[in-house]
Amino acid sequence: MELIRKQVRMNQMGKTVTDQFMIGGDYNVPDAKSDVGRVLSGEGSLRIEETRRVENYLRVTGKLNFKVLYVTDSGDPRPGALEGMIPFEEMVYMEEENGEGEDIVQVQRVECGVSLIHSRKLAVKALAEMTVHTEQITEKQVTLDVDGEEGIYLKKCPVELLQLFTAKRDIYRIKEEIKIPGTKENIGTLLWTEVSSRKMDTRLVQDAMLINGELQIFVLYESQEGKTDWVEQTVPYEGRIECAGAEEGMYHHVYDRLDQISSELRDVSLEVRMDEDGEMRALGIEAALQVRLFVYGEEKLELLEDAYSLDKKCVLETEEVVVEELLMQNHSKSKITERLSLPELKDEILQVCHSSADLQIEKMEVQDGGILAEGILNVSFLYVKANDEVPFGVWKGMVPFSAMLECREGSSDMKYDVTYAVEQLAVDLAGNDEVEIKAVVAFRSFMRKAEKIQMVTEAALVDYEKEERMNQPGIVGYIVKDGDDLWSLAKKYSTTEESILLNNELLSKELKTGDKILIFRESLSIL
């Protein structure tokens, strides 16, 4: 008996491990930089460089890249900035020794603090949190039918199989140029820069994924005359990532930041350039957006669960297979609004120059109707002070938030991938000691469920032994027990579902516990 099979591809994910660790060290201010009088802000991000399995551990090495905004220790205090790096090595305990598949490391958050030891030395400390799991693309054969056999009765399970078509990594490089407004001073020296990607959207077309979004650019600089000024602009970008086999109508999920779930890009560089008039009033921006892309398609299949023959014994081998069905692909947005009283800044803030934020997810819980995401919006803003000795200040704080990611068929055992980012942010003065924070947070959710099916893997027909056949009853009076179904009774007593229905004048295949029925062996001449 020959089975008809089909090859399907799936992405298997291992258990996620969360690891927290500290990174720290002293940092000497470079000779080219001015003495540090006061630290205004310190920020850090992790760059993963290598991962390697060592028995039950995953060795993760990389660098903490940090930057510091400060006020110089001089008679004429000015903003200054410096950046550096501290190497790190972390051993993450994995439950499975030498687990199969690729180890995926994702940095969830980095809390970086910088303090002053003296004017030429800083202490840098960071709390980092990352998650690690394995991913393995597997190919599985599923059984659909039996070829060329007559008189075989088959039981099939219909599934809407979520099959992986493409999994790839790519780097989308962004190159843009902006001109600073005419009201701004010519650029002399760059002090502090921030470039982030916002409002990123993706769409599948034939053999490619289209990508578009915005670069949010902030630059604090010193003019050629020694004055401090700043520029903030939004620049749209769009492009294309080749993806063989992709089609419109397929599903896809994108991880656009592999090592940092924030709005930071990789390999960002800003270069001061001359404009068409020969003045230093242009900025060239280059950045790399790392993308990990999964493309899925849905296919309606019927998997072979069971089989039997009336004339011969059907010997089956079965195994439990796990297939995935799509529940929902959901792109949603959540608004956060908060008004904060900041009495410590009363009469101190003249103007908010720039604001930034990142999400810290504390909990994701499956509930009726979807996934409840709870966490904190970490907000900071740079402002001009009414104090000439310390012209700038930085405020940092937290705003709690919650969002429901809708899924109509959500269940506690469903699988989900959720990526998130701050799409919009505004911090406005609402009085001399109040600020109003408005943010839009975007979530991209890919929700699916696992279906366990007992599937036929091997099948053969053999002749009954003579005595075995003679011992089979021709007529059975049967009382339906709890859990009985028509298929199992028909198979057990060598008949068909249709015969049981007909002989007992049943209108439905649903049997009721306690019902009395007669079952006739199909091969009897009286039938």
Amino acid occupying residue 468: E
The reported pLDDT for the residue numbered 205 is 94
Arithmetic mean of pLDDT, 75-82: 85
Residues 434 and 509 in one domain: no
Band of pLDDT at residue 67, cut at 50, 70 and 90: very high
CATH, residue 515: 3.10.350.10
Average model confidence (pLDDT) across the chain: 88
Residue 233 lies in a domain: no
Q: Distance between CA 213 and CA 254 in Å, rounded?
A: 14
Check whether 96 has a pLDDT greater than 80: no
pLDDT, one tens digit per residue, over 318-364 is 999 888 888 888 889 999 999 998 888 877 888 899 999 988 888 88
Residues 425 and 485 in one domain: no
The SS3 of residue 436 is strand
Arithmetic mean of pLDDT, 479-496: 90
Residues 350 and 432 in one domain: yes
Residues 425 and 354 in one domain: yes
Residue 192 lies in a domain: no
The reported pLDDT for the residue numbered 99 is 62
Boundary (domain end) residue, out of 394, 429, 446 = 446
Residues 440 and 477 in one domain: no
Residue 214 lies in a domain: no
Residue 258: how many other CB atoms lie within 10 Å: 16
Could you say which DSSP state residue 225 is in? Answer: T
Q: Distance between CA 464 and CA 313 in Å, rounded?
A: 6
Residues 476 and 512 in one domain: yes
Residues 403 and 486 in one domain: no
The reported pLDDT for the residue numbered 470 is 75
Distance of CA 292 to the CA centre of its chain: 10
User: What is the percent of the chain with per-residue pLDDT over 70, rounded to a whole number?
Assistant: 96
Structurally, the chain folds into a number of domains equal to: 3
Residues 399 and 352 in one domain: yes
Residue 357 lies in a domain: yes
Residues 426 and 338 in one domain: yes
Residues 118 and 43 in one domain: yes
Residue 430 lies in a domain: yes
Q: Where is pLDDT greater, at 141 or 75? A: 141
Give the CA distances from residue 11 to residues 228, 301, 364, in Å, rounded to whole numbers and listed in that order.
Answer: 52, 18, 22
Residue 171 lies in a domain: no
Of these ranges, 371-380, 425-434, 461-470, the one predicted with the greatest mean pLDDT is 371-380
Arithmetic mean of pLDDT, 55-72: 92
Residue 285 lies in a domain: no
Boundary (domain end) residue, out of 68, 93, 128 = 128
Band of pLDDT at residue 262, cut at 50, 70 and 90: very low
Distance of CA 510 to the CA centre of its chain: 43
Band of pLDDT at residue 523, cut at 50, 70 and 90: low
Residue 4 lies in a domain: no
Domain enclosing residue 405, as ranges: 328-446
Boundary (domain end) residue, out of 107, 128, 149 = 128
The reported pLDDT for the residue numbered 258 is 40
Residues 346 and 438 in one domain: yes
